[in-house]
Amino acid sequence: MKLFIINGPNLNMLGIREPDIYGKLTLKDIESKIKLHCVENHIDVEFYQSNHEGDIVDIIQSAYQKADGIIINPAAYTHTSVAILDALKAVNIDTVEVHLSDVNSREDFRKISYVSSFAKKVISGKGAEGYIEAVDFFVK
Ligand code: DQA
């Protein structure tokens, strides 16, 4: 089992960025927690982060015939990107969408997610634990 964990724009600023909303953990802290959980469950994992929509499309395409699952927090692109949705549909790999904050209890524009129409599961508002729950979706 190999998982790609993909984080979108501004998530490299975790720890600094709006800690009251996103928490105090850095992306490195979160990736370390995920890695530990994956090792315990004999799962191979690769981490990616980009601030650029096209890069995220390239990362998703590179998962084709390589990854068994994708865990993605598309961040702001969640609410805008048909390109990311189309890339996920193109590679057709089981996908779990994760958001640190509860997007449904925030501004109206955050309630729209293009990726949700493809994702097998959406986890929102559980902070870093959301990524662990997403890994568990793939643990058989
Ligand atoms: C986010 C929620 C998005 O609305 C926002 O643009 C982000 C992070 C989250 O993890 O809560 O950058 O995806």
Alpha carbon distance 17, 96 (integer Å): 24
Nearby residues of 43 by Cβ (< 8 Å), 6 or more positions away: 1, 2, 3, 135, 138, 139
Contact 51, 10 (CB under 8 A): yes
What CATH class does 2-139 carry? alpha beta
Query: What pTM value is reported for the model?
Result: 0.98
Active site (annotated) includes residue 52 = no
Residue 76 in contact with ligand 1 by CB distance below 6 A: yes
Which strands form 44-49's sheet, in the order they lie side by side?
44-49, 2-7, 69-73, 95-99, 121-124
Best of 110, 112, 116, 126 for a ligand 1 pocket test (most atoms within 8 Å of beta carbon): 110
Find out whether the beta carbon of 73 lies less than 6 Å from any atom of ligand 1.
yes
- For the chain, the structural domain boundaries read 2-139
64-123 pLDDT, tens digit per residue, is 999 999 999 999 999 999 999 999 999 999 999 999 999 999 999 999 999 999 999 999
| Two tokens, residue 135 | 């890994």
Is the minimum distance from the CB of 100 to ligand 1 under 6 angstroms? yes
Residue-wise pLDDT for 98-109, tens only, equals 999 999 999 999
Q: For residue 140, is pLDDT > 80?
A: no
* pLDDT tens column, 6-56: 999 999 999 999 999 999 999 999 999 999 999 999 999 999 999 999 999
